[in-house]
Amino acid sequence: MTLSARLLLAALLPLCRLKAQEPAITSITNSASYYKPTEQGLGVAAGSIIAIFGNHLSAEAAGAEGFPLPTKLGGTSVSIGGVDAVLFYVSPSQINAMVPSVFTIRTYEKDDFRTLPVVVRNGALASSPYSLRVTQFGLGIFTLDASGCGQALAYQEDQDEIISLNSAENSADPGKTVITVLGTGAGWTLTSKSQPPPDGDPAPSEGLRTDGPIAFLAEADRPYAFLQFELTPRPEQDDPNRSAGRAPGLVGVDQMTFTVPVNAPEGCAVPIRMVSTHYQSQNATISIHRGGGRCVDPPVESIGLLTWERTITSGPEPDSATSELRIEFLAAAGKKLPTRDVLPQILDMAPRWVGLEGPSCPLPSDTRLDAGAITAQGPDWGPITAQPDSSNVYHIKLPPDAIHQGTFVVKGSGGGNVGAFETSVSIPSPIQPSSYPAGTRVPCCGVYGWPHFTWTGGDDSSWVRVGMYTPIAPPVKVAQGDWLQERDALASKGQAGFGVTKYSGLPESANAELTITQDAVTPVTFSAPGLTQGGLHRWVYRWRFTGLVVNGDKIH
């Protein structure tokens, strides 16, 4: 062998070894939001599009052409739970595939999620199995720049039936424009009323329609509190354009359509999420401007929030109590004082399922304002003076029982943004919840067949909110919990309840938590120089009963 031949062989050997390396999966995400389900305990939905990232996944990049989509591209295939997945795209570092619809989880099934092995085969070589959590829903919104955050991939139709992309230059007109948001991961909702096409085949031209999920606009003043139907602004229930289903002509893509509400907030980055049962997508944005055309952000407004909170915790660990006053002064485009969302109150109505938070995306953030030193005083403590922390938030730790019936005063010395002010709030005495010690079995049946939770004291000036949390996969917790139901009642009612059995949706658990809160029906407002929208006192009594037992048996 000549010297040149030996040198050429030496140069080629590393390439041969590289090509022969086994594929390796490093992560799997929702292809729209790029949310990694294993990070927080949520999952992806069957029938949704996922992105598989790794090394040596394919010899070269290749995209699928024509329908049905193939299960093998460029010598690469993907097995999920032993089923070959249809492929959209393959490359050495990324594969876009569809979770087989055969693994769809419906709400009446015993298992709320399942873990499936994912294996990538590149030629004759196979990756090690990668565990993928598949749940009923795993929503994600496609974004215009394919980053998973920012401007949603949303089409709009005006009254002249002209269809175009929603953008900063082409805003939706409230009350007139019909918006269609594209995403993936609607899961069981779509298969509950109509059968989707076989994996790899596009949805029919008329699409697959259901009653949900529906895309909800966020409140302008609460960008992380996403709306249900009973709140305003919201998509109208009698909106003839309101629908959801598979996107016609596409594979694995879901669409949510609604008329932009007349009272929707205007701006270049109005937050929006897709909501299905109690799962939510990441937050994306759309542009809204009355009359359409280029968006205009509303003027900057400022508010003050004074939150008094006392928490009493009981359970397997020793009982504990804390009291805290949190104060912040915020400014943002269109900022307003927050309002409380009121949940169903009567026992024979469905409670609210608390939405599990999807992945976070940065939104136009609040600016925290400087108000100088703050002094707080209660009926039997203080005065206590505090300066803001590095984030311009005031945290005033109080004695455990410092918040109770009485009048509380807050004074601001004035700072760079907010002038001197003085305000007071009268907090009523707390209700007295019934005792639910650790090990208590949550009752099966109460009024109207629902268990109910009781308390004494209080009147119509206070709301009481009852919530039950049960972890599906401890110790993993997602947002407020894996599953959480809540219901409101006026304090004078003395009880509130909802179903806590597997039949009604709440899984069995030996470590459930009951939370009862009491807060004002009408919060106290105040004014201060520099606050264009004024300020608000919010007081909350919170009781946490931990270590409870939910049987998970059906109601008979």
In this prediction, residues 18-36 reach a mean pLDDT of 85
Question: In the chain, what percentage of residues exceed pLDDT 90?
Answer: 51
CA distances from 278 to 183, 197, 283, 465 (A): 17, 26, 15, 18
pLDDT of 274 reads 81
**pLDDT value of position 426:** 97
pLDDT for 10: 47
Q: Where is average pLDDT lowest: 42-56, 82-96, 497-511, 537-551?
A: 497-511
Edge-to-edge order in the sheet of strand 432-433: 432-433, 452-456, 495-497
Give the pLDDT band (50/70/90) at residue 187.
Answer: confident
- Average pLDDT rounded to a whole number, residues 264-288: 81
Q: Is it the case that residue 221 has pLDDT exceeding 50?
A: no
Place 17 in a pLDDT band, splitting at 50, 70 and 90: very low
Distance between CA atoms of residues 354 and 278, nearest Å? 6
DSSP 410-449: EEE---SSS--EEEEEEEPPPPEEPP--TTPBPPS--GGG
Choose which CATH entry (2.60.120.10, 2.60.40.10, 3.40.50.300, 1.10.150.120) describes domain 20-135: 2.60.40.10
* 44-45 and 130-135 strand pairing: parallel
pLDDT > 90? residue 365: no
Mean pLDDT computed over 48-76: 95
Which position has the higher pLDDT, 15 or 376? 376
In the predicted model, what is the mean pLDDT of residues 284-303? 93
pLDDT at 176 over 80: yes
Confidence of residue 230 (pLDDT cuts 50, 70, 90): very low
| pLDDT mean over 420-424 | 98
User: What is the mean pLDDT of the segment spanning 31-50?
Assistant: 79
Q: Which long-range contacts (CB under 8 A, 24 or more apart) does 173-176 make?
A: 173/260, 173/288, 173/289, 173/290, 173/291, 173/292, 174/260, 174/261, 174/262, 174/263, 174/264, 174/266, 174/288, 174/290, 175/259, 175/260, 175/261, 175/262, 176/259, 176/260, 176/292
The span from the CA of 465 to the CA of 449, in Å, is 20
pLDDT interval class at 344 (50, 70, 90): low
- Which band of pLDDT confidence, cut at 50, 70 and 90, is reported for residue 507? low
Cα–Cα distance between 124 and 260 in angstroms, integer?
52
Per-residue pLDDT at 371 exceeds 80: yes
Residue 278 has pLDDT above 60, yes or no: no
If one compares 511 and 130, the residue with the highest pLDDT of the two is: 130
What are the extents of the domains in the chain? 20-135, 140-297, 301-358+366-550
Question: Residue 9: its pLDDT value, please?
Answer: 45
Segment holding 35, helix H or strand E:
none
Out of 30-44, 160-174, 331-345, 463-477, which region has the weakest mean confidence (pLDDT)? 463-477
Can you give the pLDDT at residue 472?
Answer: 52
Residue with more model confidence, 443 or 207:
443
Residue 522 burial (CB count, 10 A): 8
For residues 475-485, average pLDDT = 45
The tokens 């997945």 sit on which residue? Answer: 85
Instruction: Tell me which of 246-250, 252-256, 408-412, 547-551 is least confident.
Output: 547-551
Query: What value does the mean pLDDT of the chain take?
Result: 81
Query: Which residue in the block uniquely carries the two structure tokens 């991961």?
Result: 185
Query: Average pLDDT in the 83-111 region?
Result: 86
Whether residue 490 has pLDDT greater than 90: yes
> 3-class DSSP state for residue 492?
helix
